[in-house]
Amino acid sequence: MPKKMAVVNYHKCRPEQCDSGVCAAVSACPRKLLKQEAPHEAPMPSPYACQNCAKCVLACPLKAIELM
């Protein structure tokens, strides 16, 4: 069975609604696998080493991230 990974729904993602434009899910990832190039830009997930902890999913106020 393939391992799940964090997936960002870019239609729902609005980092400008997070604190200072910094994605709450990026801050919540303990392994720093979500990257945000600049404030107010949507995060990019890394498929590597995701432990399916779902902290990014729980941190996103817009429910724009899910494990798939």
Q: What is the DSSP string of 4-66?
A: P-EEE-TTT--GGGSGGG--HHHHH-TT--EE-SSTTSPPEE--SS-----HHHHH-TT--EE
CA distance 48 to 40: 24
Domain residues for the domain of 30 are 6-67
Residue 1 lies in a domain: no
Averaged over 59-67, what is the pLDDT?
94
Q: What per-residue confidence (pLDDT) applies to 66?
A: 92
CATH at 36: 3.30.70.20
Averaged over 30-44, what is the pLDDT?
92
> Does 1 have pLDDT greater than 70?
no
Averaged over 8-24, what is the pLDDT?
92
Q: What is the DSSP letter of 34?
A: E
The 10 Å Cβ neighbour count of residue 32 is 10
